[in-house]
Structure 1
Amino acid sequence: MSGPAAGRQAIVTGGGSGIGAALCRALVAAGDHVVVADLDRAAAARTADSVRGPGSARPLELDVTDAAGVQAAVDEVVAAAGRLDLMFNNAGISLGGETEELTLAQWDAIIDVNIRGVVHGVAAAYPVMVRQGAGHIVNTASMGGLMAAGLLTSYVMTKHAVVGLSLALRSEAAAKGVGVTAVCPSAVDTPILDKGAVGRFHGRDYFLKGQGVRRPHDPDVLAQEVLRAVRDDRGLLVTPRTARATWLIGRLAPVTTQRMSVRFVAKQRALQAARAAALSSPPRKL
């Protein structure tokens, strides 16, 4: 990304780690100026301090569930630079486990971050971009926003909402010069794989072992794919190639895919039971 595309003003939520940090690295390397927004200010500062390139980055402590805070972040960029070119609504959390074990507080938390957090970003950035007649919104969803498998029900629900919001807004925004992209990767090597466990759920078993994935997708590779998707004004980025193949099968054979999902959940429960048994077994004496 160089030439006219460089030097853009961008905000990345969840920029302190994982996909968000990788996006910040890619943007600064491309010459863009990035606000690294994260609930964890120290993590945002580490990302901002570590990026290298002709662009720039500065940290911002931001809770995406705070609509006024998100609006203030956008207003600050526009006041200082005169525009906002890129809004990456990337912050998200995951909850995995048996649905009956989720509390209402956990349902509220994932809805607030994964859905309302994106809505807050759109509500703050989109009117600015409409007035400019230019800009691009990137919403981080997931393969879970295109497919559905149990034991990740609350997460899947929120990511389906993000995909729906993105595609609907894209059709509306096109005539106003604003692009919208939903990013739908399969398992990415980020801290989210090790968080959000309810009961015996184990993220890496679910996303990797249970799906026969040798290694998760590299976040820096994903970030480059996202910037190319923005450049090409793509509405949906599904990656890597194996994810696109799975998505295609799901569209062509939904009944078969649902049966496969039932078997997948059964396999996951067996993996969880085996893991729990191994952890509870006393060590063997030598």
Structure 2
Amino acid sequence: MSGASAIVTGGGSGIGAALSAALVRSGAHVVVADIDLEAATRVADEIAEMSGSGSARAARLDVTDAGAVAALVDEVVADRGGLDLMFANAGITWGGDTELLTLAQWDAIVDVNIRGVVHCVHAAYPHMIGRGSGSLVLTASMGGLCPAGLITSYAMTKHAVVGLGLSLRAEAAGHGVGVTVVCPAAVDTAILDKGQLDGFDGRHFYLTGQHVRQPLDPDRLAKSVLDGVARNRALVVEPARARATWRLQRLSPALMDRMLTRYVGAVRRRRGGGPAGA
């Protein structure tokens, strides 16, 4: 990644912050972009104190604003002579019974998790085609590879990201552009504790539902992602238990359906039989 230019959306925390740090350590020049400028600045300042030949700066970015995404991409292209890496990583979640979701919440998650990724691709991909190089890195989830009751809106959007990435990859190869989709199980970030509807326990749900004992360290994931990008891998699925779950889904979707149905029932019973989900 030495000398590469990169934009990381959702860079103010979690996976985005870990990716930004890993990129700078590998010599890349990174724009840490986040809707929370204070968080993005904090991450960029912390990265600046690390060893590495790269650099980082912060930028406020709302990925639901297509014009703002395009403007940031154009700015990096003008400043660095091109954009090598676009990490479409920003995302939100809602957890709980689907009937509790309001239309505003459906709209919000579609706007950030799907349209936000589309805006990144729409802005960055043509520049990469023009240069005949570059990589798009789209953050999805295990929820984009396997069904996931009680986080249906999140899983829907992540399935869309997987479909976009794997489909675009076939086109992009002819232009010399790589596309990698990141599908981790539960990662130890603040998103595990956000978007809770009526007491939904996201941290417990993501860990037990995805058959992992503890959340994945974001720095470990970032290392795997950069390795996957360097190798132009289609998918980065971490950790090993997540790959096993994905394999089971492909081998026996009917079995996975029964397991998920039982699990959702168990989650509801754990709450005392109420409708809230966890």
4+ residue runs over 6 A deviation = none
The alpha-carbon deviation at position 271 of structure 1 amounts to 2.8
Query: CA separation in 2, counterparts of 1:209 and 1:72?
Result: 41
SS of equivalent to 1:88: strand
Aligned pairs (5 A) from 1:58-69: 58-69=57-68
| 1:234 aligned residue | 233
Deviation at 1:205, TM superposition (A): 1.5
Q: How does 1:133-282 map to 2 (within 5 A)?
A: 133-273=132-272
Match of 1:46 among 21, 42, 47: 42
Instruction: Report the AA paired with residue 19 of structure 2.
Output: L
1:109-129: CA deviation from partner (whole Å, max 9, x where unpaired):
000000000000000000000
- Cα distance in 1 for partners of 2:163, 2:210 equals 25
C-alpha contact (below 8 Å) 1:16/1:43 kept by paired residues: yes
Within the candidate set 9, 13, 28, 2:9 is matched to 13
Percent identical among aligned pairs is 62
How many residues in Structure 1 have an aligned counterpart in Structure 2? 272
| Structure 2 match to 1:284 | none
The alpha-carbon deviation at position 212 of structure 1 amounts to 4.9
Task: Quote how far apart the aligned CAs of 1:275 are.
Answer: 11
Taking structure 2 as the reference length, what is the TM-score of the superposition?
A: 0.95
- Hey, what does 1:107 align to over in structure 2? 106
1:79 alignment partner in structure 2: 78
Structure 2 counterpart of 1:138, one-letter code: V
Aligned twin of 1:92: 91
Shift of 1:238: 0.9
* Cα contact 1:166–1:180 (8 A) shared by 2: yes
Q: Where does the alignment leave 5 or more consecutive residues of structure 1 unmatched?
A: 277-286
Residues 2-48 of structure 1, C-alpha deviations (whole Å, 9 max, x = no match)? xxx41100000000000000000000000100000000000000100
1:71-120: CA deviation from partner (whole Å, max 9, x where unpaired)? 00000000111100000000000100100010000000000000000000
CA root-mean-square deviation: 1.4
Question: 1:207, CA displacement in angstroms?
Answer: 1.1
C-alpha separation between the residues in 1 aligned to 2:155 and 2:78? 37
**Conservation of the 8 A alpha-carbon contact between 1:15 and 1:38:** yes
2:29 — aligned with what?
Answer: 33
Give unmatched runs, 5+ long, in structure 2: none
Do the aligned residues in 2 keep the contact of 1:186 with 1:239 (CA within 8 Å)? yes
Alpha-carbon deviation of 1:215?
1.1
Between structure 1 and structure 2, the one with the greater Rg is 1
Change (3 A) 1:275 1:208: farther
How many angstroms apart in 2 are the aligned matches of 1:113 and 1:179?
23
- Cα distance in 2 between the residues matched to 1:275 and 1:189: 28
